[in-house]
Amino acid sequence: MNYLLHVVVLVGLYTCLAASLDLLVGQTGILSLAHAAFYGFGAYTSAILSVRLGVPFVYGVVAGMAVAALLSFVVSLPSLRVHDDYFVLATFAFQMISFNILNNWTALTRGPLGIAGIPVPVIFGWSIRSRFGFVALTALFAVFACVVVARITAGPFGRVLRAIREDEVFAQALGKNTLRFKVVAFAVSAALAASAGSLYAHYITYIDPKSFTVMESILVISMVIIGGAGSRWGPPIGAAVLVTLPEALRFIGLPDPVAANLRQIFYGTLLIIMMMFRPRGLAGRYAFKE
Amino acid sequence: MEILRCENLRKTFNGSQALTGLSLELPTSGITAIIGPNGAGKTTLLNILTGFIQPDDGRCFFGCREITRLPPHRIVRLGVGRTFQDLRLTLQVSVLENVLVACPNQRGERLLPALLRVGVAADDVRNQAEAIRLLRFVGLEQKGEELAGELSYGQQKLLTLVCCLATGAQILLLDEPVAGIHPEMAARLLDLLRELRDTGKLVVFVEHDIASVRQVADSVIVMDQGNVIAQGPPSEILDRPEIIEAYLA
């Protein structure tokens, strides 16, 4: 039972990540390879604040979101002015630099040793220790991320993002400062990813840089594409599929290293199948960069 | 209305001179047609006037204000709207949504009001009414819920005009608005341009079809090799031998 609840928590965390990335990929049409970096900054900010300074979980989450949003400007302000391809490269570079910072700034992050002993979340005096408690908390975070994205995209802000997605020149010709919209969308996306990172840190109670590599970014992108970019249900569906189906490999009885490699093959095969037969994803409005 | 003018504009693309020291002052009202052979620099001029490309040299002014280095969205906010030669729309969303995007100063375009929905509904009601009014003006009010991509090419051209109007622009710079559309639709579009002129807007359009220019233009600017070679009323300009020689022949 504990294992099943753990899988549900992971689905919730990845829903949060996929929904936040969908704001960029699905709604705005810009691809970021730095999502795991913001996820990591959220996790590390919250972990460092709670372990070293005893800052409560809620403040740690808010601080993580703020740090991620601020760091997002480092990438977005210079690189979103230029062509989308350069932005992808810039986010890739940011992801690699971020990983190296987490891995080498040992005085702050303890490098490859990671940070252990992260306290479980305490919210209004309620200490969350049970799996059911984490399921509820993760669901709350996932719903929060989905609601934020839905609210932004349902109104005029979202209309401009969709115009940018299809034709940025069109949006500019209508008097929209497209750079501002892209920068804000990127910051919101980064902040929501960081909130998932904070929750992850307090759930697992140990983090190290290996959890926040570019492979994690690619996994979240796969979730958005397979679930369906630009749709309300796409991110949770993508998260559920890519978390639960590979978990099934555990029950075949393969050794762990083989199962891990098979998982990568599974992601790749699923992506190719989706691109060929259902480019809009399982519940998507748009094909990825149609 | 403020005067839109430019001084000594120069622009070179890969060694080829698109504009060669062009100076121009657009009229403050009426319909002005910009004509000239392919490569005369007409679209480059529009792109520079609207901030989509920067000139190598020279300056543009809107009234007393220099707009040479302003980004496109700032120029639109000053009241200078434009359409493009190739259709630029959000094809995967509804016709109405295309128009709504263009509405200026929407509270819901800022993050906090968008999240908290503060004043967004009231804005949307007002903007929807305006969008429907503009769609009715061009005869597309029945198409509001259809996807823009499902409209005919001529209807899409009309929709680009509506989007341009929805920005609140007083000066409309239209790049080949009737090119490639059915003659009936073209005639309707030209009628709309006359109606817009009568409401006090300045309409400037780039056009190759001289018959359309003769029908609606109050003044004509002839360009060749990156510069203005003639400017004046169509009756006077279009019958000049050197213009016929350079372009119309």
For B135-167, what is each residue's pLDDT tens digit?
999 999 999 999 999 999 999 999 999 999 999
Q: Could you report the predicted ipTM of this complex, rounded to two decimals?
A: 0.93
Domain count, chain A: 1
- What does the pLDDT read at residue A170? 95
Of A271, B50, B145, B193, nearest to B207 (Cα)?
B193
Residue B131 belongs to some domain of the structure? yes
B177 and B241 in a common domain: yes
Residue of chain A with shortest Cα separation from B163: A174
Domain boundary pick from B146, B164, B182: B164
Q: Using alpha carbons, select from B5, B35, B90 the residue that is nearest to residue B230.
A: B35
Name A284's Cβ contacts closer than 8 Å, sequence gap at least 6: A26, A227, A228, A229, A230, A231, A234
CA A16 to CA A145: how far, in whole Å? Answer: 6
Nearest residue of B to residue A172 by CA position?
A: B73
| pLDDT single digits (tens) A22-68 | 999 999 999 999 999 999 999 999 999 999 999 999 999 999 999 99
In a domain, B150, yes or no: yes
Give the pLDDT of residue A232.
87
In a domain, A74, yes or no: yes
Collect all residues of chain B within an 8 Å Cβ-Cβ radius of residue A157.
Answer: 108-111, 114
- Give the per-residue pLDDT at A290: 47
Answer whether A129 touches B (CB < 8 Å): no
Whether residue A9 contacts residue A132, with contact meaning beta carbons closer than 8 Å, is answered with: no
pTM of the model: 0.92
Mean pLDDT of B186-199: 94
Distance CA A236, CA A220 (A): 11
Which residues of chain A have a CB within 8 Å of the CB of B77? 175
CA distance B162 to chain A (A): 11
Residues B135 and B129: their CA atoms lie apart, in Å, by: 10
Flag whether B84 is in a domain. Answer: no
Mean pLDDT for chain B?
92
Any B CB within 8 A of A173 CB:
yes
Domain membership flag for residue B35: yes
A147 interface with B at CB cutoff 8 Å: no
Angle separating helix axes A178-204 and A131-154, nearest 10 degrees = 180
Q: Do B5 and B42 fall within a single domain?
A: yes
Residue A288 has pLDDT above 60, yes or no: no
**B60/B5 same-domain check:** yes
Rg from Cα positions in chain B: 19
What would the pLDDT profile of B51-84 be if each residue is shown by its tens digit? 999 999 999 999 999 999 999 999 999 999 999 9
CATH number at residue B200: 3.40.50.300
A157 touches B at CB < 8 Å? yes
| A156:B88 CB<8 A | no
Same domain, B158 and B224: no
Residue A263 falls within a domain, yes or no?
Answer: no
Is B118 within the bounds of a domain? yes
Residue type, B190: L
H/E run at residue A127:
strand A126-127
Q: What is the mean pLDDT of residues B90-100?
A: 94
Domain boundary among B164, B180, B210: B164
Residues B211 and B155 in one domain: no
CA nearest neighbour of A66 among A193, A165, A191: A191
CA-based nearest residue to A193, from A72, A46, A42: A42
Under the banding of pLDDT at 50, 70 and 90, the label for residue B248 is low
Per-residue pLDDT averaged across B218-226, rounded? 93
Using pLDDT thresholds of 50, 70 and 90, give the confidence band for residue B211. Answer: confident
The share of chain B scoring above pLDDT 90, in percent, equals: 78
Question: Which chain B residues contact residue A290 at CB under 8 A?
Answer: 92
Mutate to test the interface with B, among A174, A180, A290 (most CBs of B within 10 A): A174
Domain edge (last residue) among B164, B198, B218: B164
Residue A109 burial by CB count (10 A; 0-12/13-18/19+): exposed, middle or buried? buried
Same domain, B98 and B127: yes
Q: Is position A223 within any domain?
A: no
Q: What is the residue range of A159's domain?
A: 2-211
**B63 and B182 inside one domain:** yes
Q: What is the number of domains present in chain B?
A: 2
Establish if A236 belongs to a structural domain: no
Band of pLDDT at residue A124, cut at 50, 70 and 90:
confident
Share of chain B above pLDDT 70, in %: 98
Q: Are A23 and A149 in contact (CB under 8 A)?
A: yes
Which 176-195 residues of chain A touch chain B by CB within 8 A?
176-178, 181, 184, 188
pLDDT at residue number A131: 87
With respect to residue B85, please indicate whether it lies within any of the assigned structural domains. Answer: no
Residue numbers of the domain that contains B211:
1-79+169-249
Residue B238's pLDDT is: 86
Q: Which of A166, A174, A29 is nearest to B100 (CA)?
A: A174
Distance between CA atoms of residues A185 and A29, nearest Å: 11
